[in-house]
A and B are shown apart, each in its own frame.
Chain A
Amino acid sequence: MNWYRFYTALLCLGVLFSVEAYSQKSPLDKVSEEQLKMTIYEKDTSAAAVYLNKHRETYFDYTDRDGFIIINEFTERIKILDKAGLDYATKKISSYKRDESKEFVTKVWGNTYNLENGKIDVEKLDESAIFEREVSEHFDETAFTMPNAKVGSVVEWGYKTVSPFYKVDDLVFQEDIPVMAYHATIRTPGAFTFRRIRRGYFEVQPEEKIEKRTLGVNYNMQGGYGTSTQNSRSARLSFSELVAVYEKENVPALKDEIFVTNPRSYRMSVIYELISTEFNRGNKKEYATTWDEVARTIFKDSRFGDRLERTRFLKGIKESIFAKKLSDHEKIEFILDHVKTRMTWDGEYGKYAEDELDEAYERGSGSVAEINLILIALLKECGFEVYPVLLSSKQYGIPLYPTLEGYNYVIAGVRNKGKIILLDATDKMSSPNILPNRVYNWTGRMVSFQGVSQEIDLFENIAPASTAFLKVSLTEEGILEGEYKERLSSLEALNLRHRYFAYDKSEWEDEEIERFGISEMLDYNLEGVEDLNIPIVRSFNFKVERGVDRVGNKIFVSPLGFLRLSENPFKSDTRQFPISFDYPFSKDITINMELPQGYKVSSLPESTNLGLPDDSGTFFYSIAENNGILQVMMRFKLKKHIIPVEYYESLKEFFKLRVDKENEKVVLEKV
């Protein structure tokens, strides 16, 4: 895309451009009587409000102080359809700031339209009702609410944002209410090359053309060498730019669903990713094109690769490790443990270490990047072949195309005896290859110190599983008594550790009694809970007082008892988004149940074997009686943690059959 270029000869002289003020007039047609009379949006009759128009124009300018700036002009018009829709008569705009640079909001205007006795009444937004405040270190907020807004009103506003950051805000087509007409014109000068990425399930095709643009430029020439006179000059500057016009009608509202890690990932939008700049002909600066390139760019950032160079502060601990004469494996565990103990995660994500590593180390707390880069630096210092592994965490979403913003997290990957061991020191309970849940989102990318990178399957070395064995006896009175023993491995063990250590020890057993829904629990034990590198064995003796139904001389018993899945988590009739589980896992239950004397089995559920499409999951159930002992086996396995939306019906049915089967009763009859 190098056929439009920004001729920047003038810029080298230090020209000051004045921002050309665009007209403040609304780009939209007049509000019509028809719009004011509208009472319902036919395509979504429950919509509380609807965007009649969402309009945006984006273009670049240049200032002496900030260099290139990006200007957005937003115009939005909303029809309020019911009382809940009045929330949309309030607008809050947040603007980002960092160091000396900040975005700002200007030229705010607004109108409320009401139909009063057949006439259109307009109420203007008063300047004094626009509030600006500092929300936090990095964000300011401009907020206003429209006067005289009521059910039936049309509210509209416009504002302009000016940003010194080279970031074209995402084009957000979809909102929590429907959008009837979306329009965006994005003009990007030839000096900038962007990749456009679509997010969410929808089609949009921008209409594109190349246009010449001429800016009237005033600039001051500072007199040099002691002269104090100022020469004001003016010039005209022409350059070409890519004009992309996006239009979309009737965009449905974004709805929330269960089993979605991050609904934001599905909001219909177009993202502008900066690939390169070329301010002077032939002097092209590349930003990102492939994941490999992205990894290289991140590595070259002073807050990443450079950080790993300055490791003098780790010399002391390194020597004490060497003095211990440990095996490689022990060394890795020791180092991980050291960083986990020393450092506490402050809750901040990020792939870049904002602070120097020695500062963070001294402080004892830091972000994901700070902590895990310390971990990497220490492993490297101790002679391991270790590389940063970039990834995007669950709450951040899955990037669709290679982008610098695709990653927000970094962990350590150690190559040892031909295998890769993954480590994350931000979670005190984590152990080699068993990382906190937030990490298991997508693939990782390991970056070598030469800048070469390689994709890593984060799920490869985990096999979260729970295997339970129960020995139960059932009395004639309907009491179930027995022994429970369960082995939890990998992430299942990590999750249990997280819960266990967050609890007050004196309340934990009560919590477990409630969780299992049993009446009594004795000899409770969690073997291995303290040793993070081994599975946990949970065991206890239990009593369930009313574990069965009795009608007449029959006893009805669900053989899986308190371990059965009693409801289908998927109840909705339809589904918009893929279904994501935390991670793939398997769950096995084996039960031997001794039946009460004097009873015989009069009916047994049938054994069954089910599967999900694409071999994403299986369910197996079998039951048999032998000399007054019931033997029950259940094997559930989820092999993929994300199930495509097309399989929703199958998944729902799969769970329904599983729930039905697990709730089916064995009937015992008095002999």
Chain B
Amino acid sequence: MVDVDLSQPPFTLLDEAGRERVRAGVDLAYFDRDEVILDAGQPGEYVYLIHKGEVAELDPTLPSATSRIGHYTAGDLFGAISILNGKSRYRFKAEQESLCYLLPKALFRELGEHYPPFAEFFRQSLSHKARLLTERRAEGGVTMAGFMLARIEECMREPLRLGGETSIAEAVAALNERRADSLLVQEGERFGMLTKTDLLNALVEQGLSAASPVAGIAHFALITATPGQYLFQALVEMTRHEVARVVVVEGGRPVGVVELTDVLSYFSSRSYVVSLQVEQADSLEELVRASARTPELVQALMAQGVKLRFAMDLLAALNGRIISKAWTFMVDERYRADSCLMVMGSEGRGEQILKTDQDNGLILADDLDWPGLGEQMNAFTETLIRLGYPPCPGNIMVSNPAWVASLSSWKQRLGGWAEARDGDSLMKLAILLDAHGVAGNPALLDALRDELFARCSRDEILLSYFARTALRFSTPLTLFGSLKKPQHGIDIKKGGIFPIVHGVRTLALERGIRPTSTLARLEALAADGRLEARFAEDLGEALALCTELRLKQQLARLHGEHEGEDTNRVVVQRLSSLERDLLREALHMVKDFKQRLSQRYHLEYS
């Protein structure tokens, strides 16, 4: 009749009689701080269920910095695997004074025999743990499923190199002989790409003779990659630049070519199919159909364990292509060169994985005369809604005249906001800072960004006001550094994502860093010396983790689970102990970062 909470798995796999046996069969024990509960090599006599306190799982063979394998808190079980294996492989040590229920070995075995799903649960978690461990070891913390570890060098092929003076006829012969689709043309120090299509066009469209040299028709602006990069990045590059080949360069010399078809044989994912559909769409209807498939793509990528950063990059590239394509459908060509459509907010940072809402604005060249602009922009917003981007609740959309203006009036507004420094102005500055041009003439946005940096990056008072928002929400950690566990969950967006994004944004504003994605900004800040590389990396990982947790909730929502719950809220009790552990560390990073911000911008007393 002891107060054991048996409402969690694996005890839910027992029936009431089984739970009663657990209740009647457990003992209680107290462990002091730093007391070793179960040492490596000791036979497992009990399954431990923590009632209160925290226990660390250590691998005594590793150096102390990396020896912590697991972390258990109230409600977690440990020691079951030691019983199954006969002896404990690791050392369990109480990190705080811990009160544990001890389930004797005999009873545990008995329960396993009577309730096969109960025994199955532990076998599963054994293999689950083993997998986690190998993954950690394989990549030093980078969690990626097998094929995602593929590097470009594993997939590239030897390039066919020819001199610039080679004739078209000889090039065709060489291609046929090697059964290749493309070749590299060397001219002096430069290399150019030449594909079969280029050859065809040269012969038919331009009417060149078969004897003319290939140097004139090769493309010397190459999309390149290095052999050590992940294959996935090559795919992102291809999607972004709409090409089918990437040249692999090492030490300034091309060492290989990655062809799209080769990459596809590596990835059986649907990413290419979707992006292909987007590219091939020549009507709005087709675009809508392609766009509707992106959530499916996200799920496929997540299910394959693709690292969130790459998934975000790919999705950002895809979303950009969809919006830009819609723009070309809707807007007359003569206006396109003199206007710039920018996406802002999470979309601008390239961190919008599922389509949450549209934040966009339009910059017009000063001398552009565009009759009927208002109606066209209304229609464009409607189109985006059809494409699956819900309208922005804050009405930051091109259909709102406040977000459509000529370059000079944008600059004026910006000045006004920087002067005013009230909440609304600061928010607008933050939104504009994340702007990313997706269609039209990006030079307009660049000019606006230059103005923004010129006005704001040396204004200490503005920066301090700007940074303050990052401290607005408290980090959901208790005084003792463990996670808060309210029933309704902790708000991961306010507690984790927002402070990182906004703090990094502030630093980027101060240093005039142009990339808009938080991870790219972090890299730039590290290169700039504003942050230590190590800290920037950790912060990036923390952000990725928080985003991933949120994404999981959003995906679950798509499947109709947890209906009516706020997707920003993560219920700590539902996480696995590993996730909980990671989240705790991530929030500590956030806390640390906030402290640095308040020191840098003197926010201690505000």
Partners in one complex: no
- Which residues of chain B have a CB within 8 Å of any CB of chain A? none
- Which residues of chain A have a CB within 8 Å of any CB of chain B? none
